[in-house]
Structure 1
Amino acid sequence: MNLAHWLWQQAQAHPGRPALYSGDALLSDYAGLAQRVRQRAGTLAARGVAPGDRVVLWAANDPAYLVSLYALWWLGAVAVPVNAKLHPVEARWIADHAEAGLVLTDRRADWPADWVGDILALNAVDDRSDNAPQRPVRVAPDALAWLFYTSGTTGKPKGVMLSHATLVQMTLCFATDVEPLSADDRMLYAAPMSHGAGLYALAAVRAGAGHVVPESRGFDAGEIMDLAARHGNLVLFAAPTMVKRLVQAAEPRGYRGEGIKSIIYGGGPMYAADIDAALRAFGPRFAQIYGQGECPMTITALPRDLVADTDHPDAARRRVSVGYAQAAVEIAIMDPAGDECAPGETGEICVRGPLVMSGYWRNPQATAQAIRDGWLWTGDLGHLDAGGFLFLTDRSKDVIISGGTNIYPREVEDVLLEHPDLREVSVIGAFDDDWGEVVVACVVAKGPLQAADLDAFCTARMARFKRPKRYLFLPDLPKNAYGKVLKTELRQIAGEAVRG
């Protein structure tokens, strides 16, 4: 089933329901949204977009983002959402690897000039609806819908293949395990629509709820509070950093969460003190999810009643878990030999079910490494308690989660090692009270070198959010007998440098 069928269905059954907002300004009802999508689909079809074609979306949050996303699905094409913060060189690599022939962007002037494909402004207005079918084209359940590039620790980003059927299951899990929606709710896109926030648009469309894109096109605590007062029933996905900042901004205003129905948090560790503070400030409005691109948003959930629970003897301990398995998946903790661990024993978190990706685009070797005997090996370490609650204990892939965004050390290291005056580099994450973690580059220079030089070097080659926040200059990197860099020791050195 084509995901765009849900939009078409809402437009037929409830054409007058409010659908799309920019801030508090209503742009269209569901009939109007479907018409805008069809017009956009016609424009894309006129440029040659056909079923199965990959099209890059490289843009910040915008009402036109949702329109373009559904227009691609209307035609049976594949959305390739690219983080708007990525450097043009990084975005271009993804477009090439995805074999995309078209890029939809709000940064057309930044796109590499030697790109041989087509480029179209995200919000270009061109009514070519005569080129589009009256209703979404039929697609096979396993047809590719969303090609999401997630970086890895061993090289270039990998394209996670998510089918229409997978995203249908994800949406049903959202309604069952996380937050049932109604037509009176408003999904607020304060987090990037190229990631989890955009995927949750599916649940809002299915329920006939409204979609609210902030005028800031991102996260602004004051704006969220104002929109909550004007709209009511706001539902939003937020990284733990965003939750913390919203709570901090609310206190001076005396704001207590009025107008917010639910905040679903995930994408990074939520510390016990922070969720306790959020509950004191806003009350029982929080639910947690744990997932990854390879199993989108749907490994575990800790629903609102359990986040806010104070009666159960284990309530406080369970609140620092990431919840229990969502309805369509099964979880196991495996040791390196592939044997299942006992409750309480730490191992690698594995998951199976219809939510698991189809594989990595054009990368059968990585697919075979990630999916074994039907199980997705997540690379995350944790344990299950006797009640089935999952606790994360470490990340075997050394991913740094800063402000809810994954940053992979290898990517940063590869860029820094291009600098002619560096001998060695190792990138680690260091605790930060605001961001959760920040990137720290531990470097061995060949001669005199300043942090400002390295910062300028990185700025020209990678997205700003990946750039190291600190540079630690060392005479040598600590290594074990086999020559492997000891990142645990580097974290200790970096911590001592901050305290010193």
Structure 2
Amino acid sequence: MTILAAFDAAVAAHPDRPAIINGKGRKVSFASLHDRAGFLAGEWAKRGIGPGDRVLIAVSVTPDLYAALAALWRLGAVAVLPEPAMGLKGVKTALAAAEVKAWIGAGVLRVLPLLVPRLLGVTRLSLGAGAASAPPSASWPDDHPALMSFTSGSTGRAKAIMRSHGFLAAQNRAVGPLLASDRAEIDLVAFPVFVLANLGSGVTSVLPNWPLRRPDRADPQAIRAHIAKHGVTRLLLPPVLAEALADAPLPASVTTVFTGGGPVFADVVDRLAAHNPALRVMAVYGSTEAEPIAELEVSALTRADRARINGGEGLLAGPPVSAVRVRIVDDEILVAGDHVVETYVDPADNAATKTRDESGTIWHRTGDGGRFDEVGRLWLLGRTQGRIEGLWPFAIEVAARSWPGVKRAALCPLDGKACLAIEGDTARLAHWQAAAAALGVTTVVALKSIPLDRRHRSKVDYARLAEVMRASGA
């Protein structure tokens, strides 16, 4: 079942249920969102938008974003979504990869042509007010293109990915078991892919009340108030926000936290559990090209698991989800499945990350080091390119999180040798040096802060860290 067909079914089953609640508290029901999408589809069809046309979306994360996606897909058009973390550069990257017939801009983003001259003369589609009852969605073939998105570029050049209607449906099927519940849930969602899944399953999505591009600047008290106001039962957040919320109790309505987009550390879960003893915390491992890959209930880690993590064996990601196949080749995690991207828009990008086996199956090389344990759970070791003197980044960094006074740690090269950069209480430096030596790292450098990735502010930005190290004279 396509996302649109699933959305139609959810509308029929729960027409008056809120589909989306925006960051300011405005509620849009499933029926209203459906009618809004029908209106936009009708208006845009009059502007000549039809099957296969590529349309750039420059819209903030609001209910209208999802109405626009549904409208374009109803018409058989392709939504082109720039990578938000890249800002203006992301728009330029998207336009270089896609010959767009039109673009959608709202609010301050309507001035984009002044900043990106390539948009001058390209038709702008309006998000004008209106709603219209719409017939059931057209049934597009599984291979009909639906969405062009982009990798973050955090580990190299941003790459364009084309997702078909069949791919999006497969991704929803992969996510479905993770989000399945026997009760009516209300989710606070920071990841757009999960909003799409919720629209197809009748679950209410509450949108963020913080700037999505800077989750590290979010106000935890404002988030708690947002949760309480709307009776949120589940949180789907990047680790940086889970950590920000860990210093005080969550509203009593919250039963579960799903987190991903960066490593999920046991010490953060411990802090969450200290204030919310019954809280269930689920870590989801995946990538832009394959989401999800594995999942783990971190709140149920055993004492033995924790000892292995703290002893330098890596970060436990849990068992692979049923929809994906995972293999380890030369210490690298490879994945295949219906929701795994098999090719980039530019085939030249495939050489480094795609490989075909003897049966013709295309495997995606994640670039992450990993291994399976004796019960088939996946352990993460860090980026394969980040291994230094035989040491894996996560093996050292995750262990360092258990040391007194450590807020964040990152393994990096220094004069060709392994060095551990640590952000934390520098009064503990002597302890850190002794603990690091026991893991095979002879140099420890204290930094005021360790730079994080642009997308979720939850992973170490190793390229910027190298610049910081050079600037510090370490």
TM-score under structure 2 length normalisation = 0.74
Structure 2 residue matching 1:391: 3-state secondary structure: strand
1:329 and 1:353 in contact (8 A); partners too: yes
Give 1:496 shift. Answer: 7.0
The residue aligned with 2:355 is 372
Gaps of 5+ in 2: 213-217, 357-361, 388-392, 395-418, 425-446
- Output one character per residue of 1:218-259: Cα deviation in whole Å (capped at 9) or x when no partner: 4542232112222224333211111111223xx2xxx34422
Structure 2 residue matching 1:301: 3-state secondary structure: strand
Give 1:30 shift. Answer: 1.6
Note closer, same or farther for the CA distance 1:23–1:87 as it changes in structure 2 (3 Å cut).
closer
1:142 and 1:165 in contact (8 A); partners too: yes
- Output one character per residue of 1:332-383: Cα deviation in whole Å (capped at 9) or x when no partner: 1101xxxxxxxxxxx111011112114101x123224422122111111122
Give 1:144 shift. Answer: 2.2
Give 1:38 shift. Answer: 0.8
Instruction: Confirm whether residue 328 of structure 1 aligns to residue 323 of structure 2.
Output: yes
1:102 and 1:117 in contact (8 A); partners too: no
Note closer, same or farther for the CA distance 1:330–1:214 as it changes in structure 2 (3 Å cut).
closer
1:143 and 1:164 in contact (8 A); partners too: yes
The residue aligned with 1:125 is 128
Structure 1 residue matching 2:151: 3-state secondary structure: strand
Structure 1 residue matching 2:81: 3-state secondary structure: strand
Partner Cα separation in structure 1 for residue 448 and residue 369 of structure 2: 22
The residue aligned with 1:230 is 229
Size of the aligned set, in residue pairs, is 402
Partner Cα separation in structure 2 for residue 103 and residue 316 of structure 1: 52
Instruction: Confirm whether residue 290 of structure 1 aligns to residue 282 of structure 2.
Output: no
The code of the aligned residue for 1:232 comes to G
1:334 and 1:348 in contact (8 A); partners too: yes
Tell me whether 429-438 or 379-388 shows the greater mean CA deviation. Answer: 429-438
Give 1:495 shift. Answer: 9.9
The residue aligned with 1:44 is 44
Structure 2 residue matching 1:52: 3-state secondary structure: coil
Instruction: Confirm whether residue 355 of structure 1 aligns to residue 339 of structure 2.
Output: yes
Alignment of 1:300-319 (within 5 A): 300-302=294-296, 306-309=297-300, 313-314=304-305, 317=308
Structure 2 residue matching 1:265: 3-state secondary structure: strand
The residue aligned with 2:374 is 386
The residue aligned with 2:33 is 33
Partner Cα separation in structure 2 for residue 471 and residue 141 of structure 1: 39
Note closer, same or farther for the CA distance 1:151–1:243 as it changes in structure 2 (3 Å cut).
closer
1:356 and 1:376 in contact (8 A); partners too: yes
2:260 and 2:285 in contact (8 A); partners too: yes
Partner Cα separation in structure 2 for residue 384 and residue 280 of structure 1: 30
The residue aligned with 2:254 is 260
The code of the aligned residue for 1:225 comes to R
Aligned-residue Cα RMSD (Å) equals 3.8
1:349 and 1:378 in contact (8 A); partners too: yes
1:14 and 1:30 in contact (8 A); partners too: yes
The code of the aligned residue for 2:344 comes to Y
Structure 2 residue matching 1:380: 3-state secondary structure: strand
- Output one character per residue of 1:23-57: Cα deviation in whole Å (capped at 9) or x when no partner: 47453322111101111222222232212222222
Residue number among 266, 269, 276 corresponding to 2:270 in the alignment: 276
Structure 1 residue matching 2:323: 3-state secondary structure: coil
Partner Cα separation in structure 2 for residue 471 and residue 160 of structure 1: 24
The code of the aligned residue for 1:291 comes to G
The residue aligned with 2:195 is 201
Structure 1 residue matching 2:7: 3-state secondary structure: helix
Partner Cα separation in structure 1 for residue 420 and residue 205 of structure 2: 35
Structure 2 residue matching 1:321: 3-state secondary structure: strand
The code of the aligned residue for 2:365 comes to W
Partner Cα separation in structure 1 for residue 461 and residue 154 of structure 2: 20
Note closer, same or farther for the CA distance 1:205–1:129 as it changes in structure 2 (3 Å cut).
same
TM-score under structure 1 length normalisation = 0.70
Tell me whether 373-382 or 54-63 shows the greater mean CA deviation. Answer: 54-63
- Output one character per residue of 1:441-481: Cα deviation in whole Å (capped at 9) or x when no partner: xxxxxxxxxxxxxxxxxxxxx99x9xx99999xxxxxxxxx
Partner Cα separation in structure 2 for residue 88 and residue 80 of structure 1: 14
The code of the aligned residue for 1:125 comes to G
Note closer, same or farther for the CA distance 1:101–1:282 as it changes in structure 2 (3 Å cut).
farther
The residue aligned with 2:429 is none
The code of the aligned residue for 2:333 comes to I
Partner Cα separation in structure 2 for residue 312 and residue 187 of structure 1: 30
The residue aligned with 1:146 is 147
Note closer, same or farther for the CA distance 1:274–1:14 as it changes in structure 2 (3 Å cut).
closer
Structure 2 residue matching 1:184: 3-state secondary structure: coil
Partner Cα separation in structure 1 for residue 111 and residue 155 of structure 2: 31
The residue aligned with 1:342 is none
Partner Cα separation in structure 2 for residue 54 and residue 431 of structure 1: 45
Partner Cα separation in structure 1 for residue 366 and residue 175 of structure 2: 20
The code of the aligned residue for 1:236 comes to L
The code of the aligned residue for 1:265 comes to T
The code of the aligned residue for 1:245 comes to A
Alignment of 1:390-429 (within 5 A): 390-396=378-384
Partner Cα separation in structure 2 for residue 256 and residue 3 of structure 1: 32
Structure 2 residue matching 1:134: 3-state secondary structure: coil
The code of the aligned residue for 1:360 comes to Y
Tell me whether 380-389 or 112-121 shows the greater mean CA deviation. Answer: 112-121
Note closer, same or farther for the CA distance 1:19–1:36 as it changes in structure 2 (3 Å cut).
same
1:59 and 1:105 in contact (8 A); partners too: yes
The residue aligned with 1:411 is none
Partner Cα separation in structure 2 for residue 435 and residue 231 of structure 1: 37
1:4 and 1:70 in contact (8 A); partners too: yes
The code of the aligned residue for 2:354 comes to I
Tell me whether 159-168 or 35-44 shows the greater mean CA deviation. Answer: 159-168
Give 1:173 shift. Answer: 2.4
Give 1:267 shift. Answer: 0.9
Note closer, same or farther for the CA distance 1:2–1:396 as it changes in structure 2 (3 Å cut).
same
The residue aligned with 1:448 is none
Residue number among 98, 114, 117 corresponding to 1:113 in the alignment: 117
Partner Cα separation in structure 2 for residue 282 and residue 108 of structure 1: 44
Give 1:75 shift. Answer: 1.7
